[in-house]
Amino acid sequence: METAKSGDVLFEKAKAIVSLANTQELVVFYGWAHGSDQKTVDWNEEHGGDFAKFLECAKAVDAKLLYLNWAPFEEFQIDEALERLEECIASEAEARTEIDSLPSRHDIETYRDKVGVTAVLDLAFMRGEIVHTYQCFADWFQAFEDLTDALERDSNENEDSFPEHVVDKSLVRKWATELANHTKFGAARTGDQREFLLETIAGSEIDNLPVGDILARADSIYQFELKPKEEDRLRTEARRLREEGLNINAIAVRLGISKDRASGLLSS
């Protein structure tokens, strides 16, 4: 596992989950176990206890495989919240209504130092056809969601007179998969950068695409399917270079990553 940023509580929890799973002979599958066509039951941490109790349940029903995933807070989430804020302010100014209920730009910007910190963690096991899930959100991420909820409510109120948004799921899946597999997607940190990549792929078709839905789906595909594979590839390559006698600095240069990340790959 990679090295956590300072104060990354959920990443530390992920490491603790892996460690405990190993002692209980539970195999960790780094992936997403949820699906719209699956039955799921959600763990109530307040009543049932923390992840250790959840793993006890997995062991009790002879589960062998745990599904574990976590996702960092992304800079594009800040940018999109700011874009929605500007839209809400413009809309309410035009309607001459009060905007005091909206968060300020400063309130949203204060979360930019959380970029890269783990925002959500998902753990699951299957029993028969039912997926048993345990999910954690960072306290600060829940606060961010609460803060930006006002923007969503305002947007919904302003769009009540418009037709319901209907999404072509197959179209979204097609373009999101292609976008997430773009070689520069992982390095694109903002919504604007990722939209630009989509535009380079789609060309003139961009005007007819549900861009927001595609960007959101592409991020999920990248985080839960592609990024873990890329991490495994980099880890294998870093170890091979280490065996060849290269030091940390040389490995980082060869792989095009930071020294800290190279160190983390070798220590995981």
What domain count does the chain have?
Answer: 2
What percentage of the chain has pLDDT greater than the value 70?
85
- Whether residue 186 sits in one domain with residue 157: no
Query: pLDDT confidence of 196, banded at 50, 70, 90?
Result: confident
- Whether residue 155 sits in one domain with residue 31: yes
- Whether residue 253 sits in one domain with residue 227: yes
Classify burial at 68, counting beta carbons within 10 Å of its beta carbon; exposed 0-12, middle 13-18, buried 19 or more. Answer: buried
Domain limits for position 133: 1-162
Task: Say which residue, 263 or 239, is predicted with more confidence.
Answer: 239
Residue pLDDT, tens place only, 45-78 = 889 899 999 999 999 999 989 999 999 999 889 9
CA separation, residue 156 to residues 129, 141, 215 (Å): 36, 22, 20
Average pLDDT for 199-214: 86
Query: Measured between alpha carbons, how far is 117 from 136 in angstroms, rounded to an integer?
Result: 14
Domain end residue (candidates: 162, 190, 209): 162
- Whether residue 31 sits in one domain with residue 131: yes
CA separation, residue 49 to residues 67, 91, 116, 143, 241 (Å): 19, 45, 27, 22, 43
Residue pLDDT, tens place only, 244-267 = 989 988 888 888 777 877 887 787
Residue pLDDT, tens place only, 104-136 = 899 999 999 999 999 999 999 998 888 999 999
Is the pTM higher than 0.75?
no
- Whether residue 107 sits in one domain with residue 24: yes
- Whether residue 172 sits in one domain with residue 134: no
- Whether residue 263 sits in one domain with residue 207: yes
Query: pLDDT confidence of 161, banded at 50, 70, 90?
Result: very low
- Whether residue 193 sits in one domain with residue 92: no
Query: pLDDT confidence of 5, banded at 50, 70, 90?
Result: low
Helices (H), 9-121: 9-23, 45-48, 51-60, 75-95, 105-109
- Whether residue 8 sits in one domain with residue 123: yes
Domain end residue (candidates: 162, 182, 200): 162
- Whether residue 120 sits in one domain with residue 182: no
- Whether residue 20 sits in one domain with residue 63: yes
- Tell me the average pLDDT of the chain: 82
Domain end residue (candidates: 115, 146, 162): 162
Residue pLDDT, tens place only, 74-108 = 988 999 889 888 888 877 655 544 556 688 899 99
- Whether residue 200 sits in one domain with residue 97: no
